[in-house]
Amino acid sequence: MIFQAMTAAVLAALVPMTAFAQIKDIRSYSSVPPENLTSIMVLGTPHLSALEDVTPSHVETVVDQIVAAKARVIGIERLSALEIVTMQASPVLAPALEQFVGPRLLKIAAAAQSRTGMGALEAAEVTSAWTSGSEGLTQEECLERLEIALAAYQPETALLYREHLPANAIDQDAARYLDTHRTSMNERVSVALAAARRLGLVKLWSIDSHLDKRLILPRMKELQAAFAKAPPVTQMPHFVEQEEITNRAIAKGDLLPLYCHINAPSFGAADVRGQFDLPNRMEFEGDMGRIREAAWDERNHRIAAHVRHASASAVGGAMVVLIGVGHKPFLDELLLTSLDSTTQNEVLACD
């Protein structure tokens, strides 16, 4: 009996490790030849438009390395047409729609949909079918692509074709919007679009999600009240260190050291523990802590699914995902279970 009990205990202890090993080794079941795997590289980024005194020259070395990776697909933190259409149908998600899309883009896209005769979903399907970039296209063809991209809520893709058109060829509201947007320091423009231009890409892929906000917005006051009692996230040691490195990198004129720091596994571990596990250490009157965690997981799972969809356009090549750095540890883990891709390569060559 003692032997049987000991055996049962040993087996019970081994089960979690065995299950974990099976998940980690799931690619061993793949029949995809190595040369046909898509290499998905998740590049965490700070939100550059929130940093003072940063110019496009500060991110040239980061852009250089995305180009050196020969990315065939670049995913950016923008909502897809499907997400936006879904959000438009939900009054609960109206605040998220205003914050993460904005009335200006909604207006510009609606006008483009009217001019093209395409709804947002149809326009998005059309952009997905493009196989070659702007080189060799006529002005009329560039204008058509620009309009379709706007109809699909893809202003960065529209900017790939804007530079080939005279100002008077474009709807004036759309031209003003795009000309303002192309000078933005937002990483979708200053990093992703800059790399896409040099690589001759056909589009940028929208891979973000905010449908999880239907869980958060109705109970935002409850969530804010709980976080108000917790120490500010910005006072956590890894955030203080990040700010110091950020300031030095800005002063030096090169943000590559910052990108290397925040994309290191050690930073990801500190960020997950310090920031994203925080609700599990807080006191809530009800279940809002777990709801917040569930919403974060849902968002990352949706982003991973969008990444996987986009990666189908880079068979045997590389895809770079430019995303807020907090998502990187979660996406790296979620994308491990893909049978036709690999996430083992890093974008940056860091010392």
Contact (Cβ atoms closer than 8 angstroms) between residue 212 and residue 296:
yes
206: enclosing H helix or E strand: strand 205-208
Q: What is the pLDDT of residue 27?
A: 79
Residue 158: C-alpha distances to residues 117, 126, 223, 288 (Å):
17, 13, 38, 40
**CA-based max dimension of the chain:** 88
Q: What is the pLDDT of residue 10?
A: 47
Mapped onto helix, strand or coil, the DSSP state of residue 74 is strand
Single out the residue of 44, 16, 42, 41 nearest to residue 275, CA to CA.
44
Ramachandran class of 324: left when φ > 0, alpha when ψ lies in -120 to 50, beta otherwise: beta
Mapped onto helix, strand or coil, the DSSP state of residue 76 is strand
- Tell me how far apart the terminal alpha carbons of the chain are, to the nearest angstrom: 57
Single out the residue of 225, 329, 322 nearest to residue 275, CA to CA.
329
Q: What is the pLDDT of residue 2?
A: 52
Residue 245: C-alpha distances to residues 70, 232, 240, 316, 326 (Å):
28, 19, 9, 36, 17
Instruction: Record the pTM.
Output: 0.91
pLDDT in tens, the chain (351 residues): 454 544 444 444 544 544 445 455 787 889 999 999 999 999 999 999 999 999 999 999 999 999 999 999 999 999 999 999 999 999 999 999 999 999 999 999 999 999 999 999 999 999 999 988 888 899 999 999 999 999 999 999 999 999 899 988 999 999 999 999 999 999 999 999 999 999 999 999 999 999 999 999 999 999 999 999 888 888 999 999 999 999 999 999 999 999 999 999 999 999 999 999 999 998 888 899 999 999 999 999 999 999 999 999 999 999 999 999 999 999 999 998 889 998 866 788 887
Q: What is the pLDDT of residue 98?
A: 96
Strand order in the sheet with 205-208: 205-208, 71-79, 318-324, 38-45, 341-342
Q: What is the pLDDT of residue 24?
A: 55
Mapped onto helix, strand or coil, the DSSP state of residue 210 is coil
How far, rounded to the nearest angstrom, does the alpha carbon of residue 215 sit from its chain's CA centroid?
20
Q: What are phi and psi of 231, to 5 degrees?
A: -60, 140
Contact (Cβ atoms closer than 8 angstroms) between residue 93 and residue 214:
yes
pLDDT tens-digit readout, 43-87: 999 999 999 999 999 999 999 999 999 999 999 999 999 999 999
